[in-house]
Structures are given as C-alpha cells and as structure tokens.
C-alpha cells in the first residue's frame, strides 16, 4: 500500500482502467487509491508490478517524445545553419555580383577608311546621351 503514496494521478487512473474501474478526472488521488485498495480482487503484488510498468511506459513515452522534439530542433537548426551563409552572402553583397560595364565594348568603333566621320560623331553623341541617361537611372534611383 505504501507503493501508491508517491504516484501521479494519471498513473493511478491508468491502473484503475486496467483493473476495470471507472474513474472520472474530478476524483482525487486519495479516492482513487482507496478504490484500488478496496476492490474485491485486489492483489498487492500484481498492482505494484503493473503500476511500475505503467510508470515505465509513461517515462519511456516521454523520453521518446523529447528525443523526437530534440531531433526536430536539431534538424531545424541545421537547416538554418545551411541557409545562413546564403543569406549573409546576399546581405553583404558577396553572393550578388554587380554587372561590370566595359566601356570599350559600349563605345562605337570608328574605321577611318570605311566610315564617315560626321555620321560617326552623330551616333557617338546619341549613344553617349542614352548611356548617361541609363547610368543616372541606375546610380541615382528616384
């Protein structure tokens, strides 16, 4: 009977259900203990061992749930660790490279033997005007 002293209410309720007693959630621990002791086919050794197995099952279920939660947290942490270098690289501008503009490729080439200088200068002026307009749009966004 002393083995029932420090047992949780949920374990005693589970023992009552296994024995065949119906107990509501409002019944106190002392009333449940008295119900178990006063049952007609009460066997102290059986109830002691069965209660031990109930407690062990509850503890093992709790440990298993804690391991599952811990593994889920470890998975989430690893996922964050893997995504963090990508985020920090983009935040610091390391992952995203700005396009380099090579002016030599943008400038028109003049072939003195084949091209007309007047036409070349007109095209050069228009081209530079559009290029500067483009740079202002990129460098000075409004």
Q: End of a domain among 55, 83, 111?
A: 83
What domain range includes position 32? 9-83
pLDDT band at 79; cut points 50, 70, 90: confident
Say what the pLDDT of residue 23 is. Answer: 84
Q: Is 98 part of any domain?
A: no
Which of 9, 20, 10, 8 minimizes the C-alpha distance to 46?
20
Q: Is 22 part of any domain?
A: yes
The count of domains in the chain is 2
Given a contact cutoff of 8 angstroms between Cβ atoms, the answer to whether 32 and 9 are in contact is yes
82-130 pLDDT, tens per residue? 887 666 555 555 555 566 667 777 677 777 788 788 888 888 888 888 8
Which of 42, 49, 44 minimizes the C-alpha distance to 20?
42
Distance CA 12, CA 105 (A): 85
Rounded to an integer, the average pLDDT of 22-28 is: 84
Global model pTM greater than 0.85:
no
Q: Is 4 part of any domain?
A: no
Distance CA 28, CA 98 (A): 72
30-75 pLDDT, tens per residue? 888 888 888 777 778 888 888 899 999 999 999 999 999 999 999 9
């Amino acid at each position: 009977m002393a083995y029932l002293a420090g047992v949780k209410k949920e374990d005693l309720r589970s023992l009552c259900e296994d024995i065949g007693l119906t107990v509501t959630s409002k019944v106190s621990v002392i009333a449940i203990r008295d119900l178990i002791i006063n049952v007609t086919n009460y066997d102290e050794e059986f109830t002691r061992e069965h209660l031990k197995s109930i407690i062990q099952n509850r503890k093992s279920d709790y440990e298993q749930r804690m391991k599952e939660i811990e593994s889920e947290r470890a998975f989430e942490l690893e996922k964050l660790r893997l995504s963090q270098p990508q985020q920090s690289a983009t935040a610091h501008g390391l992952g995203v490279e700005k396009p380099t503009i090579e002016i030599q490729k943008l400038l028109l080439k003049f072939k003195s033997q084949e091209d007309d200088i007047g036409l070349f200068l007109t095209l050069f002026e228009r081209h530079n005007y559009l290029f500067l307009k483009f740079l202002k749009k990129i460098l000075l966004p409004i």
